[in-house]
Copies of this chain bind each other. A is one copy, B any other.
């Protein structure tokens, strides 16, 4: 079950361009995305109104997206604007269109009643627009697991010591003993983790050449249903509090990650993520290296979470236990369950 009446990331903006449309399943629905002649993105049901052929096989023309089978053309609103061989276009010859908004590098689409689509509710992440201070690189990983399992993954960071020992994690005890402050938010939660006077993990050493112990922190904000905004930094041990308050000095490390989890089906999701370099902004090599280290780490997550999904698909969750480090994860789950319960109530009332 998916949260409806909600914006979801459907694509990176730069994935939607040129003559070929982009097909992607969102919350179980087949969607086709294209950029029309005005430069705006359309999101339609990926099924021609004539014979059901997927519109993804078609191409973008002056008037809209043309079906690759018999040439019907649909504009951004899903209205059919051309049927080869006939003048009259019946009003039924249309396809469903999704409200679509391009913002901060993403294409967001609205799953739910279009009348309720309010673009002001879309998550802000202005760093994607600030190539001077936060040069970034981004991609999308297809994950064969429910998107909640990936959000779970981000809410319990003790996994860093086990899944990512040799990359962004490092010593497991560092993570288990991290000082953790969690705050509820109206549609999610916030937490801050401090690992003071700890050994830097391999990725950090590669990035900045830390020679000794460090003060390291991670700030996470979860916004339902699938956005996780991360700010991470590390400086030489002892300098943590000052750096947190005043900014990370030369020689320190700081980066921002955006994790966008969009359901594809009940057992798969799209993982849109970016890594923004905030420590050596004028060194494209540094941005590239940061991205590439994190890319490797996220493949480690993918492997574990997909195996977890396969097992849970078989056995369900019966008998599983919650542990102390699940605190933020459980809060996140309650937010989502509340949304789903409200949705069920609304359905019942309608």
A315 touches B85 (CB 8 A): no
Nearest-CB residue, chain B, relative to A323: B83
Is the pair B54, A163 in contact by a Cβ cutoff of 8 Å?
no
Contact, CB under 8 Å: A30 / B314? yes
Measured between alpha carbons, how far is A67 from B161 in the docked complex, in Å?
A: 12
Cβ contacts A68-98/B at 8 Å (1 or 0 each) = 1111100000000001111000101100000
Stretch at the interface among A106-114, A132-140, A244-252, A304-312: A304-312
Q: What sequence of 0s and 1s flags, for each residue 234-267 of chain A, a beta carbon within 8 Å of any chain B beta carbon?
A: 0000000000000000000000000000000000
CB distance from A67 to the nearest CB of B (A): 7
Instruction: List, in ascending order, chain B residues with CB within 8 A of A152's CB.
Output: 51
Instruction: Give the nearest-CB partner of A59 in chain B.
Output: B162
When distances are taken between beta carbons in the complex, the residues of chain B under 8 Å from A67 are 162
Which bucket holds chain A's interface residue count?
35 or more
Cα–Cα distance between A83 and B66 once the two chains are bound (Å)? 57
User: Contacting chain B: which of A9-17, A42-50, A209-217, A225-233?
Assistant: A42-50
Interface flags, A148-161, vs B, CB<8A=1, else 0: 00001000101101
CB distance A324 to B90 under 8 Å? no
Residues of B within 8 A of A71 (CB): 158, 161-162, 172, 176
B84-A315 in contact (CB<8A): no
Asked if A320 CB lies within 8 Å of chain B CBs, one says yes
Q: Say yes or no: is A294 at the interface (Cβ < 8 Å to chain B).
A: no
Interface string of A55-70 (1 = CB under 8 A from B): 0110000000011111
A156 to B85, CA, bound (A): 11
Asked if A124 is an interface residue, CB under 8 A from chain B, the answer is no
User: Which of A57, A69, A308 has its CB near the most chain B CB atoms (within 10 A)?
Assistant: A69
A163 to B51, CA, bound (A): 14
Cβ-closest chain B residue relative to A178: B85
Q: With the chains together, A227 CA to B2 CA distance in Å?
A: 46
User: Do B311 and A69 touch (CB < 8 A)?
Assistant: no
Residues of B within 8 A of A69 (CB): 159, 162-163, 304, 308
Q: Is A39 an interface residue (CB 8 A)?
A: no
A-B contact pairs, 24 of them (CB 8 A): A47-B311, A49-B319, A50-B320, A50-B322, A50-B323, A52-B312, A52-B315, A53-B304, A54-B311, A57-B307, A66-B162, A68-B163, A69-B304, A70-B156, A70-B159, A70-B162, A71-B158, A71-B176, A84-B161, A84-B173, A84-B325, A85-B323, A85-B324, A86-B324
Q: Which 3 pairs across A and B sit closest by C-beta, in order of nearness? A: A86-B324, A84-B176, A53-B308
Further pairs besides A57-B303, A57-B307, A70-B156: 5, Cβ < 8 Å: A49-B321, A51-B308, A67-B162, A68-B304, A83-B324
Which positions in A face B, CB cutoff 8 Å?
30, 46-47, 49-54, 56-57, 66-72, 83-86, 90, 92-93, 152, 156, 158-159, 161-163, 172-173, 176, 303-304, 307-308, 310-312, 314-315, 317, 319-325
